[in-house]
Amino acid sequence: MAIRLFIDGAAGTTGLEIRERLTGRDEFELLVLDDAQRKDEAARRDALHAADIAILCLPDDAAKEAVKLAEGSGTRIIDASSAHRVAEGWTYGFPELVNHMPGTGRDAIANAQFVSNPGCYPTGFLALLAPLVDPGISVRGGDPINGGLLPFDFPYSVNAVSGYSGGGNALIDRFAAEPNIAFRAYGMAGGHKHLPEMQTYAQLASPPVFSPSVVPAHRGMIVDIPLPLAMMGARGWPLALWNLLDEMYEDSDVVRVHEMSDNPSELLLMSDADPWDGMDLYVFGPFHEQGADDLPTHARLVARLDNLGKGASGAAIQNLNIMCGLPETTGLRL
């Protein structure tokens, strides 16, 4: 029997791309509300209670309201908003972080009732940094024999750029109405909504300094973490960082770690890029073995992904597949 699936917020950017990835999939029976019903509370409650699984593609407050509407139903929920990413009782839907910290990974997702999709920027940030950080290593605590390669209490920074679709229909409309916008830096005062999950799942002592920006491309994202190795008490040279990431994702069909010897001289976002649900990771820095005389002064960890793919809709489909016991990459654009 087909799995009954309801997408609450199906008319938004993320919802539309989820529906596109479900095209032709007879494992699911899609419950659809017409335009007159999709904002009607009673109709939404009925659909949420009728569904086996619901995917919430809503603003945070509306997502919280949807969870309340679903109370008593037993419906399993994937929330694509940021409302529940660090909330008690919710599983963080980042299957590649398996074994990194309790409550993450494929088994946790497969058995969860409530799964929260990662944010687009945190997806790149955590994929790069979380495997390299050990919460027991302190810059001030000396150089332990065992543990992670990077300290948990360093003041990390992250520079990131996204296509404008990450801001939803409002930002899409703004870029259409103001075609002279070439670059938009935002969140200048700090306090971005992604910071709690970035700190929590990388197990950092404090949130990173986050510098997000948007360019006139519909989709695409680059996340860049600079590492001043010589001043941060790092135990890992660039090649050691690469080795750990490569081992972490060696069996993944979604995340690819590029060879350091093959690193490109530039990374591009294309204005006409096709949907893509994978993620490319890079370690930039001096390429030689640990043990030379001088620790390299710096490295850069960089992720390239589609903010609407692995950063949103693709991640929701990946989690949906895992929750339903289906092959993880079914329906993904890889």
Q: Provide the annotated active-site residues.
A: 120
Evaluated on CA atoms 229, 235, 241, 243, the torsion sign reads positive
**Spatial distance between the Cα atoms of 168 and 282, rounded to a whole number of angstroms:** 28
| Helices 60-69 + 41-50 axis angle, to 10 | 60
**Spatial distance between the Cα atoms of 142 and 151, rounded to a whole number of angstroms:** 10
* Contacts for 287 with CB less than 8 Å, ≥ 6 apart: 238, 239, 260, 261
**Spatial distance between the Cα atoms of 38 and 10, rounded to a whole number of angstroms:** 9
**Spatial distance between the Cα atoms of 195 and 56, rounded to a whole number of angstroms:** 21
Pair 69, 8: CB distance under 8 Å = no
